[in-house]
Each structure stands twice: as C-alpha cells, then as structure tokens.
C-alpha cells in the first residue's frame, strides 16, 4: 500500500496551485457544499479533541465569519459545535456573504445560534475561531476591519484559525496590513507555502494539516509527478541516512570529509565543526587548520587527521600545504572561522572537482570574489547563508519577502544548492525544487550552531556524494531536531553549540528507532 498520508504531508502549494486542484475536484463532480461539510466536520472534531486535551470542554466559543468559503467552513464548524452542546456565538464583520456561506448563515440562525457584534463577542467567549479569510487573500486588511483584527489580537483569547490566520499571504507568509495572531492553525488539504515561511511564524501558532482526502491524481495533474516544493518530513529525513551499513563496511567506505576551518581568533569554530562532522558517522575526518591550532584540536577530536597549514600574520590559513591529495576526499566543507581575507583559499577549493560546502566566512570571501566563480564547477556546490550573508551574495534578491522564491532564484542563478537558514530553513535546488524544514527552535540562536550544521552537512555529504539534495535535507532536519530535543532538557535561554553536538546522536536513537515524531 502507498503511504498516502506521508506523501500528502510532503506537498507544499501556492494559492494558485491549491485553487487549480480544488477546481479539478469540483469539475469531476464533487459538490462544493459536500466538500465544505466534510472539511469543516473534520476540523470541528480536531478542535474538540484539542480542547479536551487543554481542559476547555466547557469553553464558550466565538466564531468570526468571513464572506467566502472560509466563512462557510467556520459556519459549519459553529453549527457542529452548537449541536455538540457548546455555547457558540457568531460575529460577521463584513455584510455581504457568498451564496453557500449565506445558506449556512441562514441555517445557523434558524438553530438559534446568536449573531453579535465583535464588541459583544470578545468579553463573552473563551475561544475564538478565525474563519474570516482563508487561502488566496491578496489585498491588505485596512480600515474598520483592520481595527477589528487588532481588537482580536489585543483580546488575548485563544484563537483557532481555519486554513491560515486571516491577513497572511498564502504564498509569502507576508502580513497583508494586519493579521490575526493564531494559537492554532488547521491547514486544510495541503500545506500552504505560508506555513513554512519565516514571515508567518509568529502568527501561525501550532500548525496541523487536516487531510480531507484529495486524490493524489489531482495533485499530480496540477503539480506534475515531481512537486516543486516539498516539506521535509521525519520519514523523508530518516530515509536519507546512509543506514543500515553493509556488514562488510569499513571506514574508507563511509566517506572521507575534509573540513577547512578555524583561525587564531576563531579556534572554537574548528572544534565545533569537527564535532558536528563526528556526529554524522563519517568514516574518515580530516581538518585543515592554521598550524598553531593543531594542539587544541587533537584532544577534542583524537580520531581526526589534523592538517596543519601555513598561517598569515593574523593566525589564519595562508595556503594549503603542498602536496595535498584532493582525490581522497568525497566532500569538502569550508568557512567557519577562517576569516574574511581567505579569497585564495576559496579560489583553490572552487577548482577542486569534489562536492563543496561553503559557510560563514567561506561565503563572505565568495561574495568578494563574485558568485560568477561558481559557474562551470563540475561537482555539486552547497551555499549555507543566513539572511545577511545571502544579501551579500545576492544583492538583487530579497530573502525577507519570499524565502521560497529567493532560494529558487539564487540556486538557478548559480547552479549551486542554496540553504537559507532561518526558523523555517529553505533549500533551493538548481532544478527549481525547494525543500522546507517545518520546525526548529529559537534555542539554536546562539553562536556556533551554524558551525555544527556545517560539519554535519559535510559528514553526510561525504557519505552520500551522489545524492547531495538528500544529504542536505537529512542534515537540516537532524540539526533542528537536536536543537528541539536539547531545548527540552537544558536552559530555555538557548543551547550552546558544544552541547548541541551531544544531542545529535540522541535524535537518531529516538526518532529512527522509536519513531516518535
């Protein structure tokens, strides 16, 4: 049997794509009213289950109804809750309703569900259901409606949004003037791109997909057999691990990674990057550092082969020792702590026909050289910028508006895989495909977290040099899950990078063996 649920949970769509998929369903004969009943019934049951978990079974419910089908969904939910014995009241900020939504409103009134103003609703309810706008909103919320949205936000009621928080752009996650801040969002049918954009994170709350049974054939007919935007699931990430290893495996079959990192000023970067690589399970690890750092690294990483390099007068790598056998490495990762005057080092590495990861100062030096240097590389290149580094590399592309389109454009422009770090990390492939990591933690917002990720990425890439996109997705998910796990056991002020590395192995033990996410 095909694991349909996992396939559905990976697909990410734009408003235009979702609209096209729904239109196919309706054109095939599914009545709009029947689908609305099905979807809203599923959401109502999920809400009631959540309220039972939260101890809110006697809560008073306020429902905010919009003019379109999202408002119709909200009215069906309101009716179902009313029939289950909940105290429900409805407010309708906009006078005009679509025909089907109007029919549900008429029936709701016939059941005796009270219609009140927002001013009356807010003091009298414990929970708000946001059914004002669903996917596809383009115009900013303004005027009286904007004032009402701000009233809702200031009320500090628990808010459950249907599909998306009202006021959030479906594709970019941008706030269209004003938006409702939800505590829970029930995304309908397929993941909307906004649910994986940094700009929407503070408005979404806890997000859950409500799968209402869209036929896979309709999805493929609109998106093609290869979806252009994927959500990285646990199953997708775990499948990317080079496990199980063959019984006759040995260290030279488990990849050889070369790290180029560290300087006198940033000696710790070399250690953290090395520890991240160690956790990946890579068979052999070599680390090129300024010669003076070798005594610091050997006690921390005794299994690594430390390559001492000639130094500049500022304690950075001046050049690689000659000779250096580049052919023995399956991947190279460069950048953490190397300093901003390492253009010769980057130029050398760009000529090596081996998969290459550039991070941190590796990216800053590449920006000085120009991204045109990436053209013509015969092996995969991975760039791992945060937003500031991204802007230096791609000044014509704004990563803060639409991260999905930003990484897609940057990757196609350079031919490199581009990993844009953030609360929802976005990975762009030269093919135009984008992969999105659905969760992370602010506990990772501490110095050195990125160094650990670089090592982990390099270690997996060395083991999977012919499948770089799989290695990168797996490492991204793995790193984030380690942060989430560490945050549960350590201070809420964040997880230091050294201890983060200790949780990488625990993630695999918990997630792969027990499968609890």
Query: SS3 sequence, 373-424?
Result: HHCCCCCCEEECCCHHHHHHHCCCCCCCCCHHHHHHHHHHHHCCEEEECCCC
Q: Domain 4-231 belongs to what topology?
A: Rossmann fold (3.40.50)
Q: Is 425 annotated as a binding residue?
A: yes
Residue 513 is predicted with a pLDDT of 43
Q: Is 451 annotated as a binding residue?
A: yes
Q: Is 256 annotated as a binding residue?
A: no
- Decide if pLDDT at 275 tops 90: yes
Q: Is 291 annotated as a binding residue?
A: no
Q: Is 422 annotated as a binding residue?
A: yes
Residues 231, 508 contacting (CB under 8 angstroms): no
> Start-end ranges of CATH 3.40.50.10260 in the chain?
4-231
- The pLDDT of 254-266, averaged and rounded, is 95
Confidence label for 509 from pLDDT (cuts 50, 70 and 90): low
- Convert the pLDDT of each residue in 81-109 to its tens digit: 999 999 999 999 998 999 999 999 999 99
Q: Is 135 annotated as a binding residue?
A: yes
SS (H, E, C) 253-305: HCCEEEEECCCCCCHHHHHHHHHHHHHCCCCEEEEEEEHHHHHHHHHHCCCCE
Segment holding 27, helix H or strand E: helix 15-27
Residues 299, 327 contacting (CB under 8 angstroms): no
Confidence label for 517 from pLDDT (cuts 50, 70 and 90): very low
> Start-end ranges of CATH 3.40.1190.20 in the chain?
255-512
Residue 512 is predicted with a pLDDT of 46
Q: Is 138 annotated as a binding residue?
A: yes
- Convert the pLDDT of each residue in 323-367 to its tens digit: 899 999 999 999 999 999 999 999 999 999 999 999 999 999 999
Q: Is 139 annotated as a binding residue?
A: yes
Q: Is 166 annotated as a binding residue?
A: yes
Q: Is 224 annotated as a binding residue?
A: no
d(CA 36, CA 39): 5
| CB burial string 411-432: b at 16+ within 10 A, e below | bebbebbbbbbbbbbbbbbbee
Q: Is 60 annotated as a binding residue?
A: no
Picking from 416, 396, 415, the residue whose alpha carbon sits closest to that of residue 406 is: 396
Residues 438, 232 contacting (CB under 8 angstroms): yes
Q: Is 515 annotated as a binding residue?
A: no
Q: Is 140 annotated as a binding residue?
A: yes
d(CA 134, CA 162): 7
Q: Is the dihedral of CA 401, 405, 408, 411 positive or negative?
A: negative
Rg (C-alpha) for the chain, rounded Å, is 26
Confidence label for 451 from pLDDT (cuts 50, 70 and 90): very high
Residue 12 is predicted with a pLDDT of 97
Residue 505 is predicted with a pLDDT of 87
- Convert the pLDDT of each residue in 148-185 to its tens digit: 999 999 999 999 999 999 999 999 999 999 999 999 99
Question: What are the structure tokens assigned to 66, written together?
Answer: 């919009």
- Convert the pLDDT of each residue in 4-38 to its tens digit: 778 899 999 999 999 999 999 999 999 999 999 99
Q: Is 5 annotated as a binding residue?
A: no
Segment holding 7, helix H or strand E: helix 4-10
Is-cis flag, bond preceding 323, omega within 30? yes
Class of domain 255-512: alpha beta
Q: Is 265 annotated as a binding residue?
A: no
Q: Is 112 annotated as a binding residue?
A: no
Q: Could you give phi then psi for residue 184, rounded to 5 degrees?
A: -140, 140
- Decide if pLDDT at 188 tops 80: yes
Q: Is 315 annotated as a binding residue?
A: no
Determine what percent of the chain is predicted with pLDDT higher than 90: 88
Picking from 471, 501, 321, the residue whose alpha carbon sits closest to that of residue 305 is: 321
Picking from 57, 120, 130, the residue whose alpha carbon sits closest to that of residue 87 is: 57
Check: pTM over 0.75? Answer yes or no: yes
Q: Is 423 annotated as a binding residue?
A: yes
- Decide if pLDDT at 214 tops 50: yes
Confidence label for 70 from pLDDT (cuts 50, 70 and 90): very high
Q: Is 70 annotated as a binding residue?
A: yes
């Amino acid at each position: 049997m095909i694991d349909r649920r996992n396939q559905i949970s990976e697909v990410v769509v734009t408003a235009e794509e979702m609209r096209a998929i729904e239109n196919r369903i309706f054109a095939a004969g599914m009545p709009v009213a029947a689908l609305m009943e099905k979807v809203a019934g599923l959401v109502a049951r999920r809400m009631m289950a959540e309220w039972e978990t939260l101890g809110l079974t006697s809560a008073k419910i306020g429902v905010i109804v919009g003019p379109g089908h999202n408002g119709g969904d909200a009215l069906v939910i309101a009716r179902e809750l009313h029939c289950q014995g909940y105290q429900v009241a409805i407010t309708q900020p906009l006078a005009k309703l679509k025909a089907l939504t109007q029919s549900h409103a008429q029936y709701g009134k016939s059941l005796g569900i009270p219609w009140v103003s927002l001013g009356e609703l807010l003091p009298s309810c414990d929970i708000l259901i946001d059914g004002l706008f669903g996917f596809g909103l383009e115009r900013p919320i303004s005027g009286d409606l904007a004032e009402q949205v701000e009233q809702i936000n200031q009320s500090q009621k628990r808010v459950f949004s249907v599909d998306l928080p009202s006021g959030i752009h479906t594709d970019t996650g941008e706030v269209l003037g004003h938006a409702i801040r939800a505590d829970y969002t029930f995304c309908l049918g397929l993941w909307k791109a906004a649910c994986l954009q940094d700009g929407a994170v503070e408005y979404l709350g806890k997000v859950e997909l409500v799968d209402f049974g869209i036929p896979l054939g309709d999805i493929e007919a609109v998106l093609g057999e290869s979806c252009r935007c994927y959500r990285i699931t646990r199953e997708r990430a775990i499948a990317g691990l080079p496990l199980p290893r063959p019984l006759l495996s040995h260290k030279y079959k488990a990849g050889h990674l070369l790290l180029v990192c560290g300087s006198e000023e940033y000696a710790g970067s070399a250690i953290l990057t090395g520890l991240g690589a160690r956790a990946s399970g890579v068979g052999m690890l070599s680390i090129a550092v300024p010669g003076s750092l070798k005594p610091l690294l050997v006690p921390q990483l005794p299994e690594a082969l430390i390559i001492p390099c000639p130094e500049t007068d500022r304690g950075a790598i001046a050049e690689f020792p000659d000779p250096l056998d580049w052919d023995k490495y399956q991947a190279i990762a460069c950048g953490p702590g190397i300093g901003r005057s390492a253009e010769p080092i980057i130029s050398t590495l760009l000529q090596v026909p081996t998969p290459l990861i550039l991070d941190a100062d590796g990216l800053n030096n590449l920006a000085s050289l120009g991204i045109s240097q990436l053209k013509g590389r015969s092996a995969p290149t991975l760039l791992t910028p945060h937003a500031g580094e991204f802007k230096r590399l791609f000044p014509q592309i704004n990563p803060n508006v639409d991260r999905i389109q930003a990484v897609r454009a940057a990757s196609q422009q350079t031919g490199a895989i581009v990993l844009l770090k953030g609360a929802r990390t976005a990975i762009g492939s030269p093919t135009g495909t984008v992969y999105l990591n659905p969760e992370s933690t602010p506990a990772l917002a501490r110095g050195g977290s990125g160094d650990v990720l670089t090592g982990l990425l390099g270690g997996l890439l060395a083991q999977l040099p012919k499948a770089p996109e799989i290695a990168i997705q797996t490492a991204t998910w793995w790193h984030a899950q380690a942060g989430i796990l560490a945050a549960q056991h350590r201070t809420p002020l964040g997880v230091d990078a050294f201890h983060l590395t200790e949780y990488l192995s625990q993630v695999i033990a918990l997630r792969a063996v027990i499968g609890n996410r």
